[in-house]
Each structure stands twice: as structure tokens, then as C-alpha cells.
Amino acid sequence: MDLRSRFTAALKTSMIAKDGPQTSTIRMIMAKLKDSDIAARPSGVDQIPEEQIISMLRGMAKSRRESIEMYTQGNRPELAAKEAAEIAVIEGFLPVQMDASAVEAAVDAAIAKAGATSVKEMGKVMAVLRAKYAATLDMAKAGALVKAKLG
């Protein structure tokens, strides 16, 4: 089942269950997705692909993590808890992330495949990783690991 179908099904389920916070979060996701689709239309794309949807979801979760940090510093635990609940819903749609050992193995394989020997060739390695593991790999963590291994 693709993500768009999962959003629709989850929205129906949460509405039937009268789960207000989950319903509102899924509606936010769907609104952001519609905005992204509309923004992509000038380039001839009706709907953005799954990889971009996953990237969009990761961005939404990241911005909420930053909000939690600010709300915690501002002594607003109720708002931080609301953001944390939204993150839980958003991350429920994301593919399971690779664990540390799997990330290291993927990075080693990508370095070997790209034939990289120095940090200057980091872009080649990242391109290999992005092509093969875009959905299940946190590129920021992988980038740091690639840099450490090549540096």
C-alpha cells in the first residue's frame, strides 16, 4: 500500500475512533502533501513520488523536534507534549530506519562501490547511498560516518 492510501485509511480510522489529535495530524500531513503536489505541477509532475513524501515527513518530524526543544526551554510542557504526539503519528508512516551496524555496512559497501579514497569523493558515496537506501537511511548520520571513514 502506498503512502497516499495509508494516509487516507489512517484518516478514516482515526475519524471513526474520534481520535482528534491523530486526525488533525493526518490532516496536516495531507495538506502539506497537497501543497507539495501543487508546487511540483509547473515541472510537469501531478503527484510527487514516494521518496519526496518520505522526505517531506522527515522534515515535518524534524521541525516538530525543534519546536519541542523551544517549548521545553520556554517552560511550555503541554505544547511540547502536543508536538511529541504529532511526531509519533508522522513517524508511524515512515519506513523503519536502519540500525547503526546496518548503516555502517551500507556506508562501507557504498565507499567500495564508488571507489572513493578521500573526502573529496564524498559526493559519489552519498549518491550511491541515496540511490539505494534513501527511504531507510538517515542521510545526515550517514554523511558524518562517510566523512569520518574517508577523512
Quickly list DSSP for 33-64.
HHHHHHHHGGGT-SS--HHHHHHHHHHHHHHH
Which pLDDT value is given to residue 97?
A: 82
Which pLDDT value is given to residue 135?
A: 75
Strand, helix or coil for residue 137: coil
Domains and their CATH numbers in the chain: 3-91 (1.10.1510.10), 100-150 (1.10.10)
Which pLDDT value is given to residue 133?
A: 83
Which pLDDT value is given to residue 33?
A: 96
Return the sign of the alpha-carbon dihedral for residues 26, 32, 38, 41: negative
Which pLDDT value is given to residue 80?
A: 96
Which pLDDT value is given to residue 116?
A: 83
Strand, helix or coil for residue 75: coil
* Mean pLDDT (10-residue bins), the chain, 151 residues: 93 96 97 95 90 90 96 96 96 87 89 86 88 81 87 81
Which pLDDT value is given to residue 81?
A: 96
